[in-house]
Structure 1
Amino acid sequence: MPGVWQRHPRYSLLVVVVLVTTLYLLVPIQQDSLASPLFTMSDNDLPSRMERANRIYNKVLEDRKGLIKKFGPTPKEIAVFPEDKAPWPPYTVWDFFPAAFNCPHEVERQGALGDGGKWVCGLSRVREKPNCVVYSFGINYESSFEAEILRNTHHCEIWGYDYSVNAFGPEIPSESKHRTHFKPYALGGEDKHDSEEKIPMYTLDTLLKMNGHEFIDILKIDIESWEFTTLSALIKPYLISGKPLPFGQLQIEIHLWHKSFDEILEWWEMLEEAGLRPFWTEPNLVYLNYNRDSRTSDLAEYSFINVKGNNIFIQDPPSPSHDDVEHD
């Protein structure tokens, strides 16, 4: 008997075409076939996402050099907020520091919309973490950020510090208060907390030792422009020693009051050298609205992830060994 191909050649050819097309579509697209090497569709594990994010951010670093050369050509010649006169330079200081690092996890706002809330990268990574530690500097009786962190995690404990108030804000849920710890201290670049000091000031390293901590998963800082001197004093010893910073991510409000561009650039590059990469930013429009005589938006919220070390946001935790599983 004649075969199917002989009896129905057109039908058989159609079947072959359908099979070949289906196999083609099911084969993962390889990186070499993509127009841009920055993106892959076959590799989406955490190391691959981190590698892509680093490549994208490195391009931004090169673009910054070009922007400085264009409007400078040196940092000392760049205005933080150029005056409105011809020829008008179309830039502000914030254009040099975009939040261009891709968080390798979900980005989610914790706390109130508007003033008080912060953007966090990968809160799911610490949702079940048994030793999750959060430090918050600058409370001012507004604790929606801290309250939502507590609601959305099972074990995170929060250490709050603010010398201008005597407690967290009213947003802290009563069922989670046992996971909060408050002291009326200020964060500083040096320890000044003897009996003669009106404002007890502690370094981050001292507070870590006092609390028995080695690492902070999430660090929030809002200390009204003291972030420049405080973070400089905190970070420089780690740069000298080569050790990674003792926190996984940083939510901070940056105040540019009385700062020149070259000062800001030097401070920012110190953050980058230490491993901090900005993944989110927003201007403080509340401040700008209530200072309408000012034409500069010199306050901005930034969120950074620490890409050095082995923190939970950039590396997967080791899988339990066979012995550990059997023991459990």
Structure 2
Amino acid sequence: MAGRIIQVYGLWVWVAFAFFIFVLFNQSHSPLPHSSGKPSTVKERMMRAEKAWETSVTLRHEMANKHPGYPRIPLFPAQTLEAFGKYPYTIWDFFPPVYTCPHDIQRVGRLGDGGKWVCGMSLYENRPALPASKAGKRTKPGTVIYSFGVNGDSSFEAEMLARVPSAEIFAYDYTVASLGPQIAGPDSSRAYFKQVQLDRMDVLDRTPPFMSLQTLMKNNSHTYIDILKIDIEGAEYYSFDSFMDWCDRENAGEMPIGQIMIELHLTDDENLNFNRLLKWWERLEKFGMRPTWLEVNLLAVTLNPNKADPRCVEYVLVNHKDRKNIMRQES
């Protein structure tokens, strides 16, 4: 009887093995599934991203309206497990980066603080260097990059100059006297620095002077900025208020910036609450700015000896409405 069982068991083992080989052979020779449609275009990807952003705006207001204190919503309401059960979010969850970059997105500059994420980096790299005039100046603007907040590290600016032959960088910071040591060699001729504090208005008799973004653009004879990098420790809100006023008043309601890399700071609780940030953010969105990347600055948490909320976050925003935006190009 035992021998019969062993024989039957052995037979089933061989049947199972033969079936496995049959399936494996047929799968390896079957045609791979493929899409009959054409690859999506940039326009299609941007429209799909725009729909995702529209959905996020609806969800934003639904979540805000459910809070009993709306519009006075705490920036970080989930301070206990009980509060987490009611309000499982922070201020940053109201502004998720749902607008997918329609091209590649790459890290530029050093890892950690100072480096930035750039949407469509390969597009900027493929722009040819523009010829210079006899006087040594460019005949027309190249890839115009404005950088506010140098703070001694220029790894982002140095890599952009090295990889983008058409790049010209206009950097401003009132806390340092020059760009960082990373800017050197022939590329440094395309980088310009001034000791200026970005502000809502011009105060030229101060040292260093306060100047608005629109004034700096005018002084540089620029009507368009490809990339704006800004990290000015909380002054971003009223500086952009002034610039958005100018866009409405003197630039036909259009924001002449392709993409923005901005660090937002929540360090002034008396003047910056949920409602203020919401209105400021949605005004940016009205101009076409869409969040495509978010990076929490954890150093602002770990450097604090006490419990600290994540009050500093870096966003990348792409201008969906901008007709000049390089993002509209096919790769």
TM, length-normalised to structure 2: 0.80
Instruction: Pick one of 211, 215, 238 that aligns with 2:224.
Output: 215
Give 1:221-236 correspondences, 5 Å limit. 221-236=230-245
Q: Name the CA distance, whole Å, in 1 between partners of 2:214 and 2:252.
A: 16
Aligned Cα root-mean-square deviation (Å): 2.0
Q: Is the 8 A contact 1:125 1:312 kept in 2?
A: no
Q: Deviations over 1:198-225 (max 9, x none)?
A: 3301111111111111111101011110
Q: Name the CA distance, whole Å, in 2 between partners of 1:101 and 1:112.
A: 25
Letter in 1 for 2:107: R
Counterpart of 2:285 in 1: which secondary structure?
Answer: helix
Q: Name the CA distance, whole Å, in 2 between partners of 1:65 and 1:72.
A: 13
1:239 and 2:252 aligned: no
Q: Name the CA distance, whole Å, in 2 between partners of 1:177 and 1:26.
A: 49
Q: Name the CA distance, whole Å, in 2 between partners of 1:26 and 1:297.
A: 44
1:252 and 2:265 aligned: no
Instruction: Tell me the CA shift for residue 73 of structure 1.
Output: 6.2
Q: Runs of 5+ in structure 2 lacking a partner? A: 1-29, 131-141
Q: Is the 8 A contact 2:153 2:182 kept in 1?
A: yes
Q: Is the 8 A contact 2:56 2:98 kept in 1?
A: yes
Matched with 1:6 is none
1:139 and 2:150 aligned: yes
Q: Name the CA distance, whole Å, in 1 between partners of 2:81 and 2:208.
A: 44
1:79 and 2:74 aligned: yes
1:66–1:132 distance in 2 versus 1, CA, 3 Å: same
Counterpart of 2:36 in 1: which secondary structure?
Answer: coil
Q: Runs of 5+ in structure 1 lacking a partner? A: 1-20, 30-41, 318-328
Matched with 2:44 is 48
Letter in 1 for 2:179: F
Instruction: Tell me the CA shift for residue 74 of structure 1.
Output: 2.4
Instruction: Tell me the CA shift for residue 116 of structure 1.
Output: 0.2
Counterpart of 1:86 in 2: which secondary structure?
Answer: helix
Q: Deviations over 1:127-163 (max 9, x none)?
A: 2154111110000110011011111111201011011
Matched with 2:160 is 149
Letter in 2 for 1:54: E
Instruction: Tell me the CA shift for residue 99 of structure 1.
Output: 1.1
Counterpart of 1:126 in 2: which secondary structure?
Answer: helix
Q: Name the CA distance, whole Å, in 2 between partners of 1:267 and 1:283.
A: 19
Instruction: Tell me the CA shift for residue 85 of structure 1.
Output: 6.4
Q: Is the 8 A contact 1:253 1:299 kept in 2?
A: yes
Worse-matched range after superposition: 99-108 or 86-95: 86-95
Paired-residue identity, %: 37
Worse-matched range after superposition: 253-262 or 127-136: 127-136
Q: Name the CA distance, whole Å, in 1 between partners of 2:33 and 2:309.
A: 52
Matched with 1:97 is 95
Instruction: Tell me the CA shift for residue 267 of structure 1.
Output: 0.9
Q: Name the CA distance, whole Å, in 2 between partners of 1:273 and 1:207.
A: 23
1:62 and 2:58 aligned: yes
Instruction: Tell me the CA shift for residue 276 of structure 1.
Output: 0.7
1:191 and 2:189 aligned: no
